[in-house]
Amino acid sequence: MIEVKSLKKSFGKLEVLKDINIDVAPQEVVCVIGPSGSGKSTLLRCMNRLEEPTAGEIFIEEDNLTDTKTNINQLRQRMGMVFQQFNLFPHKTVMENITMGPQRLKGKSKTEVKELGSQLLEKVGLVDKAKVYPDNLSGGQKQRVAIARALAMEPSIMLFDEPTSALDPEMVGEVLQVMKDLAEDGMTMVIVTHEMGFAKEVADRVIFMDEGFIVEEGSPAELFDNPQHERTKSFLSKVL
C-alpha cells in the first residue's frame, strides 16, 4: 500500500531523515514513536509530499509519489491526513467543513455529500453538531470533525500526526476510539503518537525512530516488551 525506499530529507545542512525504508501492507496499522525532533512529522509529510524528499522514492498503491510526472493532487486525495492542530475552517459549519472537499474536488452533488457527511458524523459520534461552527466545539470534537473531513475524501490511507497531543487529557480517549474503530474497519493507517497504550493495543507494527533513522521495528509485543536496542529501551523507560 505504501512503500518508502531509501528516503532522505535534509533542510539545508540538517539531515532529518537518513535512509528510511518502510512497507505498509493493506489494512495495516503502523504506529511511529520516538523522541521529539527525530523526524516523525517530516516522514509523514514526505509521505504525501507536503515536504519534497531530498532522495529516495515513495510508492502509494504502486504509483510513484516522487515522480514529477505523477499528478500529486490526485494521489493526495487517496491519503487523508490529520494533524495535531485541527485546521478546520472557522467560518464553515461542521457539515460544510466535511462536505467541501468531496463537493469541490470530486464533483459530488450537494445531496450526495450531505448523505456522506451525515454518515461520517454518525461514525465519529457528532450527528447533533452538523450545523455548529468549530469555535463552539471542544478540542476532542474538533479533532473528530477533522477525521470525518479527511474520511469524506474516501481515502485508502490515513496518516495521523500526533492527533491527540493538543487535547486536554479527558478528550484523548474519544479521539483514540474513533481511530480504533477505523482500524477495525480495515483502514490502512500510519500514526505518529505518544499514546503508548493505544500503540500497544491497536498497532500491527510499531516503528521506533531516533535521529532520522528507524532504530527498531516490530509487533507491539516485540517492541514494548522486548526492545533490542539501547536507544529504544532508554526511550521507552521515559515514556512508559
Nearest approach, Cβ of 190 to ligand ADP (angstroms)?
Answer: 13
Size of the site for ligand ADP (CB under 6 A): 11
Binding flag, residue 41, Mg ion (CB under 5 A): yes
Cell numbers given for 67: 515522480
Which residue's CB is nearer to ligand ADP, number 16 or number 113?
16
Cell numbers given for 17: 531523515
Binding flag, residue 38, Mg ion (CB under 5 A): no
Task: Burial-class residue 122 by CB neighbours within 10 Å (0-12, 13-18, 19+).
Answer: exposed
Pick from 6, 11, 170, 197 the residue near ligand ADP by CB under 6 A: 11
Tell me which of Mg ion, ligand ADP, none is bound by residue 108, counting a contact when its beta carbon lies within the kind-specific cut-off of 5 to 8 angstroms: none
Distance CA 139, CA 156 (A): 26
Binding flag, residue 197, ligand ADP (CB under 6 A): no
The one segment of 11-19, 20-28, 67-75, 214-222 that binds ligand ADP by CB under 6 A: 11-19
Nearest approach, Cβ of 165 to Mg ion (angstroms)?
Answer: 8
Which residue's CB is nearer to ligand ADP, number 85 or number 136?
85
Tell me which of Mg ion, ligand ADP, none is bound by residue 164, counting a contact when its beta carbon lies within the kind-specific cut-off of 5 to 8 angstroms: none
Q: Is the dihedral of CA 202, 83, 189, 11 positive or negative?
A: negative
Pick from 33, 40, 223, 224 the residue near ligand ADP by CB under 6 A: 40
Contact at 8 Å (CB) between 158 and 182? yes
Which residue's CB is nearer to ligand ADP, number 94 or number 206?
206
Sheet strands (E) in 12-102: 14-24, 29-33, 55-60, 63-64, 79-82
Task: Burial-class residue 195 by CB neighbours within 10 Å (0-12, 13-18, 19+).
Answer: buried
Question: Using the 8-state DSSP alphabet, how is residue 133 labeled?
Answer: -
Cα separation values, 78 from 22, 61, 156, 214, Å: 18, 9, 5, 25
Binding flag, residue 50, ligand ADP (CB under 6 A): no
Pick from 38, 97, 103, 232 the residue near ligand ADP by CB under 6 A: 38
- Chain contacts with Mg ion (rule: CB under 5 A): 40-41
